[in-house]
Structure 1
Amino acid sequence: MVTPPILDNKHASSPSVFVPSTLLREARRQKNIAAVQVPSVCLLDPDGDLVRVLRETGRAKPFAGWPCYHTELDTFLLAGQQVGIIGRVVGAPFAVLVAEELFASGCRLLVSLTSAGQILPSKTPPYFVIIDRALRDEGTSYHYATPSEFAEADPQMVKVAADAILETTLQAVVGSSWTTDAPFRETAEAIEAAREKGILAVEMEAAALYTFARIAGVRLLCLAHVTNTMGQTDDDFEKGEADGTRDALNMLGAVVGALLAY
């Protein structure tokens, strides 16, 4: 076998028959929802902690015009404007599905902040990684682009975000991640191979989101909150104060504000 069958019949340069605008149109019809634009800036919160805390403190409000079958969209004030946020968008297929729908609904900038496991110990967790490229060890990206080792971020967006963080006290670095569809198959051999490539963290969405963004020509940046060493120590998976939401919101505010300004 020269290539695995999963790579057959992808035809990355061909248009899709099924498009997000069609699904959203029918969802609006079935739910009797008017066609309205989502906020121009939206966030993905795979863990759901941000959405939970924002709701509990009364900062987030439901966005009634979001027709997605699978998720709920909330809005809150960040970097001086109303932004959208969707929680528990875990994994490459789900993240790209929601990203497609958001950009089809008026989103112009999407930022994802996901939890991640440490590969190379650049700092002591918890800290943030501005992901400049992601190892494509997931299946979704191959429906959008032909095989390659990494999916690359927009370098200017990475630079703007990194410069913005330098003006804060947040612990953050720029570097690469490993995107996997199977978190409980992070074997010692796979971890060592990622470490040899200089990869800082392992997560589940960035490679697919970056590949989609490049092909679709949209503005998208992935951040990782390195919170754990994959359960290899006691008291692992600690994000910090308020489940890390204070630092996460400060990080997102600085990054979003800078990206809107350039």
Structure 2
Amino acid sequence: MRLHHLGEIDSAATTAVLTGDPDRVPRLAAHLGTVTGEWRKRGYVVAETEFEGRPLLVCSTGIGGPGTAIAVEELALLGVTRFVRVGTCGSIQRHIDAGHVVISTGCVRDEGTSHQYLPAEYPAVPDFGLLRAIVGAAEDAGFTHFVGPTHCKDAYYAEKPEGFPLAEQWRARWAGLRAARVLATEMEAAPLFALATVRSLRAAALFVCTDDTLGAEETFTALGAAAVAAARGAFSLESGDTDAKEERP
């Protein structure tokens, strides 16, 4: 199928792992299985891999909500019904260290794209069945993970707002998020969850916490383990899954 932004993609996969950095896509696809195809267009990279005997797409989204929404909309046109974001985040809670994995149960919607899909008072939450399956896969894998609410934003450097005209308000907001037990902050999950809700798709997200102490290879090792849990969780639903597109209004 020819997709406007993703290009000409030939795949029967119904599950996709989404990650921000396009350079991670070939490595994650090879980590998950035998790569059977790769497509590149307009900064997007999509690879098909065979994971435990089934086709799986790994797709980059770039940074932030708009690129994520485009990728998900077009992969849904291709026939993908299950999406799991596997990326990085910044820890908000002091007990969550670099290298730990956070699995989101819903987002504080501090960005713009999700509001194009759902009103502000509507929660951005993952599909419960997919969330439960991924938590189970993470428990089976045995890596350190935390499950709870996360924060989604548009401004990466708002984490360090020194020099911002509203720096005090930002510092107060981060303190409030910590007090409210929000686990981590990132930039793509809220639009993914909102779009999936509107389009009757299944979506979930898990993130590796990073900081200046975590090297690139350590980050990839954690991302690879998270991606395996994401794929196993998503495929565990396949036998009972219906084609979500048929249920759209």
Q: Which has the larger radius of gyration?
A: 1
Alignment-mate amino acid for residue 189 of structure 1: A
Corresponding residue of 1:217: 200
SS, match of residue 152 in structure 1 = coil
1:78 corresponds in structure 2 to 51
CA offsets 1:126-165 (integer angstroms, 9 cap, x no match) = 1111111011001111111111274111222212211221
1:157 matched to 2:130? The reply is: yes
- The whole-number CA distance in structure 1 between the counterparts of 2:18 and 2:189 is 11
Q: Give the deviation of 1:49 after TM superposition.
A: 5.1
* C-alpha spacing 1:239/1:164, structure 2 compared with 1 (3 Å): farther
TM-score by length of 1: 0.76
Partner in structure 2 of residue 202 of structure 1: 185
Task: Tell me the distance in 2 between the aligned counterparts of 1:217 and 1:202.
Answer: 25
Deviation at 1:63, TM superposition (A): 3.1
Q: Which residue in the other structure is 1:110 paired with?
A: 83
Q: Residue 260 of structure 1 aligns with which residue?
A: 235
- Change in Cα spacing, 1:56 to 1:107, as seen in structure 2 (3 Å) is closer
Normalised by the size of structure 2, how large is the TM-score?
0.79
Taking the TM superposition and a 5 Å limit, the aligned residue runs for 1:1-262 are 24=3, 33=8, 36-48=10-22, 50-54=24-28, 60=35, 62-64=37-39, 69-87=42-60, 89-148=62-121, 150-186=123-159, 187-228=170-211, 236=212, 238=214, 242-262=217-237
CA distance in 2, matches of 1:27, 1:110: 18
Counterpart code for 1:252? A
Please report how far the alpha carbon of residue 213 of structure 1 lies from its aligned counterpart in structure 2 after TM superposition: 0.7
Q: Is the 8 A contact 1:115 1:224 kept in 2?
A: yes
Number of aligned residue pairs: 226
In 2, Cα distance between equivalents of 1:162 and 1:137 = 25
Counterpart CA distance in 2 for 1:247 and 1:179 is: 21
Say which SS state the counterpart of residue 126 (structure 1) adopts: coil
Distance apart, 1:73 and its partner CA = 1.1
Identity %: 22
Name the structure where strand makes up a greater proportion of residues.
2
Q: Which moved more, 1:172-181 or 1:153-162?
A: 153-162
Q: Using a 3 Å threshold, how does the CA distance of structure 1 residues 239 and 167 change in structure 2: closer, same or farther?
A: farther
Distance 1:204 1:90 in 2: 7
Deviations 1:166-207 (A, max 9, x none): 112211111111100011123322211211221100000111
**Distance (whole Å) between structure 2 residues aligned to residue 27 and residue 134 of structure 1:** 27
Shift in CA distance, 100/237, structure 1 to aligned 2, threshold 3 Å: farther
Alpha-carbon distance change, 53 to 156 in structure 1, aligned in 2, over 3 angstroms: closer
RMSD: 2.8
Structure 1 CA distance for aligned equivalents of residues 74 and 46 of structure 2: 12
Unmatched 5+ residue regions in structure 1?
Answer: 1-20, 229-235
